[in-house]
Structure 1
């Protein structure tokens, strides 16, 4: 009898294990899926002509016995033109995927940004095709390209990223480290990750993603694209199992707008907001911390609709607002010109306002245009975030040994008690991006700060270059 019971328990254990394996959906192989989708995945090669000052390419220390040798080596024409600017062609690699048989291709904006030439290499070995840029969106790091082909191209559809769960299997494809078409697999490690952008909605995965995978697709097990591989978290530049793909829920909307308009057209409410903390909720007598607290209502759609400072936005167009990030995404996804109902809490009572949404891109451009103008002959300077910043000029480029085309804001001085100094910024550093967008003027920098504050962010991500080496630094917005 005991032997029979043991046998029954053993069979039950095997059946339970089999059922658990089926519930997990563990694939026996990814080979069929890879074969199905690989014809639509492409390698992208970009070329850019960059200027290099003839006298700026110092290869050995000044005074070295080899200094004359290298000067003669660089000055190949022998005409004494070593100080003349030289031009060289720089190449970069990335990935992408075809979304329609007539040749529309999705990739990352940073893969093709500033490129003079874009070539598309296909998995099946067909001839490379040149691509044109239809439109880009630096806010989500998405770009839409187009190639012309005599025959229909293999393509892949977008899937629903919102139904993906932590633990679901995914597969990444691309061109890692320039090694050609490659496949890696893993699971969804986390959802709704934010890095530094206003419209971030990243899927985190442990599928191996490396340099060159940028712009490539992240597939679900049905061969649908549920993300665009964009970034990794790594101390050494290689994959450590923490990769990020912009969710298809964001990408698909951006692509539709780029295809129709060649640019994005996001809704704009026209308010500055912050999250409702426990202290604020207690001080205002609120029952929860849900919603977004209005801190400023400048001229714009919200003011015209009667919104006021201290209003707490509870819902937007029929959808509850969890926090500031949630509201920013909802408004950005709404059509420009649409009349929406916005429920606010004011003096303990709810009110519903009808707001006709403006266009965020127009609002930001207007703020930049109205910013302080550069005085003739002198770069614009201003102190922000503890930094004394100056707009780039030929004199500053020469002083810092920069290339003629280098842009950004130069850190002239900084407060040694500031957060910026503590985090390693120094005079002579060049800020080239703020909030994932290039900045070349003080007005653009201030606009990025305001966007971050409107989005309820406590810090802004800056891309800093020092002697050509880039690094990111996050500074508080206090």
Structure 2
């Protein structure tokens, strides 16, 4: 027993000697900063979760934005009533029965406490009944206030008993690429779904009426259409609208109508009953064409003016072919999509300052925007323009639209430079009337329109 105790005492003594020698000769010098009256720090435990900081924002997480947003995003159900035969027998004897079918669901964003809701036009198109379900599961019938198919924005309204939570429009012009965003909606009928991503690109053109979109990698799926894209402050910066997909589901990118464009559409609908669109009136070549590559337009840092529309704001301001547009107001433009995206937020009569490079000289030209004076009508694809007062007198008409371009398929009708005054018996006053009436044509029945030539002779064209 004494032998074991002796061995233990020797081991302890040896360890102490070794530790003392290491501390004295081998251990690195410890530097300690001591201030006067230094006290021992006290570490407190908090129940608040710790998150990694979100770049570009004082808020350290997405919780505030999500909580603010989910109650203002609604589930929209589009219901339609079909009337028609359900069997061959009914078709033969002309019997029709009514069938009620739900044909679409999507999302919407409450933008005022009294129940105005912005959504996508394609979510509520052709609906005979619209149902809106709030995040608290209350359901209301909604009425359509107005729509703008070209921007895919619609305004609907519900009458609720209480004031509703809503989102304020943010400034989409100030959105930065790389900024964190949340997409909130109802994909696959899963209510109040929040996904996160960043802004991948701005002013992304998808070939839709020269419209531009915010591009994000926040996951968006069928059912998200019409939902909110918000920044980390919970400000509405876009209305989720489209995805690029070969499967019908999200594969990496989604697109939203910028909030400034959606806000302008909503304000126009509420104030004027329709959407007033101001245009600059210039043409610029597509940069992916051989024409653009051969002339070096695809290497220009700005928008090359390849043509100026007659009687447009650009025409009045003497903007010329060959000018290169660098800025509009304070917005830098490098592509035609940048220009269109900004001008889309303006109305006819608004003035913008256009900074151009003309043969190396920098000019700032004020331009008053005007309504579009020409467009291609649906179905037939004719290019038409509004009549000037001189043309009305020349053709001896009070209203109508002049045909300025005819597709190859309809050249046999000799329509160039004639004036359309009716479509299927309905008067045509301007290009907007022409677009609406031609958009209602059916390829399954005969259609007609009346034209007037330079000599005042009238002719009725029938086609199918």
Task: Give the alignment's TM-score, normalised by structure 2.
Answer: 0.63
Q: Is the 8 A contact 2:180 2:198 kept in 1?
A: yes
Cα deviation, residue 215, structure 1: 0.5
Judge conservation of contact 1:44–1:121 (CA < 8 Å) in 2: yes
1:458 paired residue number = none
* Alignment match, 1:97: 109
CA deviations over 1:288-336 (Å, ceiling 9, x no partner): 5423223243233333333443444444446554232222233333332
Residue 37 of structure 1 aligns with which residue? Answer: 69
Residue in structure 1 matched with residue 408 of structure 2 by the alignment: 383
1:367 and 2:392 equivalent? no
Q: Using CA pairs below 8 Å that are at least 6 residues apart, which structure has the higher relative contact order?
A: 1
- Say which of 184, 195, 200 aligns to 1:173: 184
Task: Measure the CA separation in 2 of the matches of 1:269 and 1:37.
Answer: 36
Q: Quick one: distance in 2 between partners of 1:441 and 1:208?
A: 46
Unpaired segments ≥5 residues, structure 2: 1-22, 33-49, 378-383, 387-399, 412-422, 425-438, 451-464
Distance 1:185 1:169, change over 3 A: farther
Report the Cα distance in structure 1 between the residues aligned to 2:299 and 2:183, rounded to whole angstroms.
Answer: 44
Q: Are the counterparts in 2 of residues 209 and 239 from structure 1 also a CA contact under 8 Å?
A: yes
Select the structure of larger CA radius of gyration: 2
The alignment's C-alpha RMSD in Å is: 4.4
Deviations 1:122-144 (A, max 9, x none): 11123x22222222222221111
Answer yes or no: is 1:138 the counterpart of 2:149. yes
Pair 1:333-2:345 in alignment? yes
Deviations 1:171-219 (A, max 9, x none): 322222224x131322115021322234544333333322111101123
| Equivalent residue, structure 2, for 1:245 | 256
Instruction: Evaluate the alpha carbon distance shift between residue 167 and residue 287 of structure 1 in structure 2; reply closer, same or farther with a 3 A threshold.
Output: closer
3-state SS, counterpart of residue 248 of structure 2: coil
Matched, 1:220 2:220: no
Structure 1 segment 89-128 matched on structure 2, within 5 A: 89-91=100-102, 92-126=104-138, 128=139
User: Which of 295, 300, 306 pairs up with 1:280?
Assistant: 295
Mapped to 1, the partners of 2:189 and 2:299 lie a distance apart of: 54
Of the three residues 292, 295, 301, the one matched with 2:304 is 292
119 and 346 in structure 1: CA distance in 2 versus 1, 3 angstrom threshold: same
Partner of 2:389: none
CA contact (8 A) 1:281 1:289 kept: no
* Aligned 8 A contact 2:308 2:315 in 1: no
Structure 1 pair 232–385 and aligned structure 2 pair: CA distance change class (3 A): farther
CA distance in 1, matches of 2:365, 2:179: 41
